[in-house]
Amino acid sequence: MAFEYSGGKYISDTPCPHCGKQSTYKEIHEEVDYISEATLVYGDKPFYFPYKVNFRVYQCEHCDRLRLILERIKEYQYRKEREAILEFPFPGFSEIDREKIRHPLILGDLDEGMRCLAANSAKGAIVNFRRALQAAVLLLGGKEDSLQDQIDDLYKKEIIRGKTRDIAHKVRAFGNLGSHPFEISIDEGGEIKSDEFNKLTLEDATQAAKMLVLFLEDAFVYPEKLDSVDQRLGELKKK
């Protein structure tokens, strides 16, 4: 994420999460908190602290909706290091057609995962995305004992396509790292090794979210779109 000021406008390197446009923005609000160790200091200070947190609200000039950005900024003599620590809404996801999904079990875990993602909680996001996936698979009619077999069962019944099945397995693979029992080992030298769950990153969670959104669109929204097209073609043939 980056907002560059050019020609009197702010330009983002990611599309607006509301309208999906590569829009320009205007700044609505800005506050700066100066951080020294664990102390939050407010007010104008004539000297530099180790870093500061910049809080900004931007408004998309295409749809007029807002984006909230929190950045940690470390200032040096000739340069700045910027790190995004929170962005809301999270960019890069088209809006889900919630009316066509219509299942609170799916949407509740999806929304909780998105909240975790916005708060930089990668592991919490991935676990919730897996829960949303399994709820969707069960509601679509997937049988068998394991989520893997339930997904394959949907494919065998031609409820989902091959590509949709593959997408579901990618979300499942990420989520399995957090849904299985915690594994930890200590070698003879006393070194502690834990399972792969602790190695999950925010990028991993973002990829899992993108895959889940694709699955939900393909499994719930796409078939209804095809049905409406078939209905229209039938009407044209009768005419």
Residue 132 resides in a domain: yes
Provide the whole-model pTM. Answer: 0.60
15 Rama sector, left if φ>0, alpha if ψ -120 to 50, beta otherwise: beta
SS3 for 69? strand
Q: Is residue 67 one of the residues assigned to a domain?
A: yes
CA 33 to chain centre: 27
In angstroms and rounded to an integer, the radius of gyration of the C-alpha atoms of the chain is: 23
Verify that 71 and 120 share a domain, yes or no: no
Over its length of 239 residues, how does the chain's per-residue pLDDT go in tens digits? 567 888 888 888 777 877 777 889 999 988 887 776 555 554 554 445 677 888 889 999 999 989 888 888 887 778 878 777 777 776 655 556 677 777 888 888 888 888 887 777 888 889 999 999 999 999 999 988 889 999 999 999 988 889 889 999 989 888 877 665 555 566 677 765 655 667 778 888 888 888 888 888 888 877 666 666 667 677 677 76
Asked whether residue 232 is domain-assigned, the answer is: no
- Do 135 and 36 fall within a single domain? no
157 and 120 both lie in a single domain: yes
Count of the separate structural domains present in the chain: 2
Distance CA 82, CA 79 (A): 10
Q: Are 71 and 83 in contact (CB under 8 A)?
A: yes
Residues 82 and 170 in one domain: no
Task: Please state the φ and ψ torsions of residue 74, each to the nearest 5 degrees.
Answer: -110, 120
Positions of E strands within 42-176: 51-60, 66-75, 80-88
88, 122, 138 - which closes a domain:
88
d(CA 184, CA 27): 48
Q: Specify whether 74 is located in the same domain as 125.
A: no
Instruction: Yes or no: say if 196 and 177 are a contact pair by the CB < 8 Å rule.
Output: yes
Please report, in angstroms and rounded to a whole number, the separation of the first and last CA atoms in the chain.
52
Domain containing 145: what range?
98-225
Residues 27, 113: contact at Cβ < 8 Å? Answer: no
Gap between the Cα atoms of 137 and 143, Å rounded: 9
